[in-house]
Amino acid sequence: MPLATANLKSPTTRRQQLLTWMHSLGGGVAVIPTAPERTRNRDNHHSYRHDSDFYYLTGFSEAHAWLVLVAGEVDQSILFCEGKNPELEIWTGVRWGPEAAAEHFAFDVAHDVKDLDTLIPQLLIGQRNLFSTLSRSPQPDLLKHLQGWLVTAQHSVRDTRALPHQWLDLSDVLAEMRLVKDASELATMRAAAAISAQGHVLAMQAARPGCHEYELEAELLYHFRKHGAQSVAYDSIVAAGANACILHHRAGNAVMQEGDLVLIDAGCELDGYASDITRTFPANGKFSGPQRALYDIVLAAQQAAYDKTSPQQHFNAGHEAAVQVLTQGMLDEGLLQGTLSEAIETTAYRKFYMHRTGHWLGMDVHDVGSYRSPPASAEERPWRQLQAGMVLTIEPGLYVRPAADVAEKFWNIGIRIEDDAVVTKTGCELITRGVPVAAEEIEAIMRAR
């Protein structure tokens, strides 16, 4: 049964919507863990980041927590979290604790996570279904936990028919809920986009021949944290010269040379939501002729994709439009030979443009949600129609590596232009244009260094 759409305004209303959906399937118990802590080395952990599905339903960001929803005669939302421990909190920071967490995050009740193995088996008795994030769980031992709780519950009842007899995956349901953002989510994403955009401007102004890639990464990280972002949304890509033709090049020791282009793909995460921006600019502040020719092609391709991003279009329409413009541009510049239709049909363009033009964006930088609609038949999986409230990136590019059949003037030119687009009722809104994209505006920003 499809999940009814709603204007989701808080974790409380999201939990209620999920409970309503659970009732439509006969009710039961949903068990949803957050992400575990990850060891970086020895007894040192990576900075903790909650699981997105769990946070979406709870707003709770501490580790070692579980959400339990009971869709029964009386619905319940239950949080299991770490109990208060004043001595340990001296070392690791103050915890909410069950009592304060229940009140602040509007749970019906909260328990110490130490009681998980005792209380969950009791909650399973008399329930028809067991729900969990089976295919997208961050908890590696989830199945082991679920099986153990069922075995414990079996020891408490004579008739196993009193226990859940069907396991159902919540992953797709939660993905559909998260795919359409509400006003509060969009406000957070706009704020994240604004922070990231200004960070890109500052990185442009800091760039110059002789500068290392990691220096620009430092500018970004400083700006993100200074303006309240808790983290990067993903490891920043800062790529100079030939490195710009490596799609996921991490900022390294490379030194920017006179005549290099610099590609930065970076965005902050603010209150659990990602931003994702890519800009490409000349290290010396002035595009060369060949660089400008390819840059303008990519910018025109982004505009073509933007024009196809609306509720009147399907998800892939923007990619198809961008491919048309990019391929024609490659033909015009002699990077490809033949006709437009031939170059597209044979995918010859993929030599220089090998990725798609966008992806969903939200709590995860490559956010959840199917790009396809339910199949009309066993053979068909049509692209899904866009709708207001969806957020996606628009990011065409061109990457030209040295090759015998490529004019040397284009060698090692890597260009990507990426913005975050909110689908509106009539089209889309680019929320990351706080950093310009027109070549003349980029050069003007860099002259103001």
CATH code of the domain in which 45 resides? 3.40.350.10
Structural contact between residues 204 and 172, judged by C-beta atoms closer than 8 angstroms: no
Q: Which of 55, 56, 349, 399 is catalytic?
A: 399
| Residue 2 within a domain | no
CB count within 10 Å of CB 148 equals 14
115 is catalytic: no
| Residue 151 within a domain | yes
Q: Which of 54, 30, 33 is nearest to 130 (CA)?
A: 30
Q: Is the pLDDT of residue 179 over 90?
A: yes
43 is catalytic: yes
Same domain, 163 and 211: no
14 is catalytic: no
64 is catalytic: no
50 is catalytic: no
- For residues 241 and 210, give the distance between their C-alpha atoms in angstroms, rounded to a whole number: 12
Same domain, 443 and 305: yes
381 is catalytic: no
The pLDDT tens digits for 68-99 are: 999 999 999 999 999 999 999 999 999 999 99
| Residue 4 within a domain | no
Domain of residue 364, CATH code = 3.90.230.10
| Residue 129 within a domain | yes
Both structure tokens of 19: 């409970």
Q: How many domains does the chain have?
A: 2
Q: Is the pLDDT of residue 2 over 80?
A: no
The pLDDT tens digits for 403-437 are: 999 999 999 999 999 999 999 999 999 999 999 99
Q: Which of 42, 158, 161, 248 is catalytic?
A: 248
Q: Which range marks the domain in which residue 320 is found?
A: 180-447
Q: Is the dihedral of CA 218, 223, 228, 229 positive or negative?
A: negative
Same domain, 173 and 290: no
Same domain, 208 and 166: no
**What local confidence, expressed as pLDDT, does residue 158 receive?**
80
Angle formed by the axes of helices 213-226 and 183-206, nearest 10°: 140
What percentage of the chain reaches a pLDDT higher than 90? 94
| Residue 6 within a domain | no
| Residue 157 within a domain | yes
Same domain, 374 and 245: yes
Same domain, 279 and 318: yes
**What local confidence, expressed as pLDDT, does residue 169 receive?**
97
Same domain, 198 and 104: no
89 is catalytic: no
359 is catalytic: yes
What percentage of the chain reaches a pLDDT higher than 70? 97
The pLDDT tens digits for 201-223 are: 999 999 999 999 999 999 999 99
Angle formed by the axes of helices 289-307 and 317-332, nearest 10°: 150
Q: What is the average per-residue pLDDT within 150-159?
A: 90
Structural contact between residues 264 and 234, judged by C-beta atoms closer than 8 angstroms: no
Same domain, 90 and 192: no
416 is catalytic: yes
* pTM, rounded to two decimals: 0.95
117 is catalytic: no
366 is catalytic: yes
Q: Which of 40, 366, 372, 433 is catalytic?
A: 366
Same domain, 126 and 218: no
Q: Which residues pair with 232 in a beta bridge?
A: 268
Same domain, 116 and 222: no
Q: What is the average per-residue pLDDT within 379-392?
A: 93
For the ranges 5-19, 251-265, 280-294, 364-378, which has the lowest average pLDDT?
5-19
Same domain, 311 and 405: yes
Give the CA count within 13 Å in the CB-facing half-sphere of 82.
17
Q: Which of 212, 227, 314, 355 is catalytic?
A: 355
The pLDDT tens digits for 247-291 are: 999 999 999 999 999 999 999 999 999 999 999 999 999 999 999
Same domain, 215 and 362: yes
Backbone angles phi, psi at 244, to 5 degrees: -65, -15
**What local confidence, expressed as pLDDT, does residue 1 receive?**
34
Structural contact between residues 227 and 193, judged by C-beta atoms closer than 8 angstroms: no
Q: Which of 418, 419, 420, 443 is catalytic?
A: 418
